[in-house]
Amino acid sequence: MPLSWFKKDKQVGIVKSPNSGEEANNQLSSEILDDIKKLHFSTRKIADEALLGGYKSTFKGRGIEFEDVREYIPGDDIRSIDWKVTARSGQPFVKRYREERELSVMVAVDVSASAHTGSSNQTRERLAARVGAVLTMMAMQNGDKVGLVTHSDQVEKFYPPRKSRNSVWRIIREVMTSGDYNSGTDLFGLNKFLRQVLKRRSVIFIISDFFDPSFGENLAQLSSKHDVTAVVIEDPLDHSLPNLGLLTVKDPETGQKTVIDTSQKRVREKYQELQLAHREKLVKSFRKYGVGSIWLGTDKDFIPAIRSYFLSKERGRKLPLAVANR
């Protein structure tokens, strides 16, 4: 696991399915509540017209849906004739369709123990909250339904896609107050859950560090029916190990402690090699299963990477890949 995982978990407030925003506020520490309010306030500014335009161009509605039938008029395309209705009535009828623009968007956020980690100016969970909030805001501004699922080694919270003015606040609050969630990660279970609950084609954003060996399993079935984008949250320590001497580290998900001698060049090189292999495995899996990917760093601005991703999809690239600048 990456060294960035081995950071002391920060203390967060706990929200257990509050019935109102006021009840949720009463259960949060003032520090976390202030943080959430700042994120909520800044989200609308970040989801500007340029970013929203990219979203609209990238994710379109389902095309056309059958609405009803009407009598055939000379000049109508004979391919639109409804032969069953025509046979019953004895007169030719054609099908009428309407354009379906509304999308169902599902934002899935990893809230396992590793989400609390990070070596730069923000933790993974804070970045995940900001990204999820911006994606939610763009979907809302486009008139789409938005849902949320938070997951660890089980599904923690699930809000079906719907139009709600509280969607942005909800995702920030749920992600930033995840202290009562399980510590492990099970992306296989998440993929299975999404396949079961999403009956119509949806746009899915999975926000996670993707340090789970099961991430690729049944992803093919999910991406065959839905438009899936993996938003990979990385940290600088995921890629290189600094020379800090002997370190005793603890995996936040398993509790396992390990002693690492970071002063040895061989150890640092092996660490970098393992992390690079993991990253390459992710890239290959996303390509194999037709999943788009956005790579974000806790030390970088995430907006350029999202814009780049939207642009690459709009240009019709089959397998878009947007990587935040390093």
What is the DSSP code (8-state) at residue 212? Answer: -
**Could you count the other beta carbons within 10 Å of the beta carbon of residue 140?**
18
Residue 186 is predicted with a pLDDT of 92
Residue 28 is predicted with a pLDDT of 52
Mean pLDDT of 226-231: 95
For residues 31 and 34, what is the distance between their CA atoms, to the nearest angstrom? 5
| Average model confidence (pLDDT) across the chain | 80
Residue 182 is predicted with a pLDDT of 84
Task: Compare 35 and 61 and report the one with higher pLDDT.
Answer: 35
**83: buried, middle or exposed (CB in 10 Å: 19+, 13-18, 0-12)?**
exposed
**Could you count the other beta carbons within 10 Å of the beta carbon of residue 301?**
12
Mean pLDDT of 253-265: 86
Under 8 Å between Cβ of 207 and 149: no
Residue 269 is predicted with a pLDDT of 93
Helix axes 30-46, 167-176, angle to 10 degrees: 140
Residue 319 is predicted with a pLDDT of 45
Under 8 Å between Cβ of 161 and 104: yes
Residue 110 is predicted with a pLDDT of 93
Checking if the pLDDT of 116 tops 90, the result is: no
For residues 208 and 232, what is the distance between their CA atoms, to the nearest angstrom? 6
Residue 17's pLDDT band, with cuts at 50, 70 and 90, is: very low
Checking if the pLDDT of 98 tops 70, the result is: no
Task: Compare 103 and 154 and report the one with higher pLDDT.
Answer: 154
Checking if the pLDDT of 151 tops 90, the result is: yes
Question: Closest Cα to residue 5, out of 211, 206, 152, 190?
Answer: 211
For residues 82 and 64, what is the distance between their CA atoms, to the nearest angstrom? 16
Which domains occur in the chain, in start order?
3-59+101-323 (3.40.50.410), 64-100 (no CATH)
Residue 67 is predicted with a pLDDT of 63
Residue 299 is predicted with a pLDDT of 92
Instruction: Report which residue type is found at 135.
Output: L
Residue 77 is predicted with a pLDDT of 80
Mean pLDDT of 224-251: 89
Task: Compare 188 and 314 and report the one with higher pLDDT.
Answer: 188
3-state secondary structure of 58: helix
Q: Give the CA radius of gyration of the chain.
A: 23
pLDDT digits 0-9 by tens, 181-228 = 888 899 999 999 999 999 888 999 999 999 988 888 888 889 999 999
Alpha helices (H) along 198-248? 219-225
Residue 7's pLDDT band, with cuts at 50, 70 and 90, is: very low
| Distances 1 to 114, 230, 262, 273, 278 between C-alpha atoms, Å | 10, 19, 15, 12, 10
Task: Compare 230 and 219 and report the one with higher pLDDT.
Answer: 230
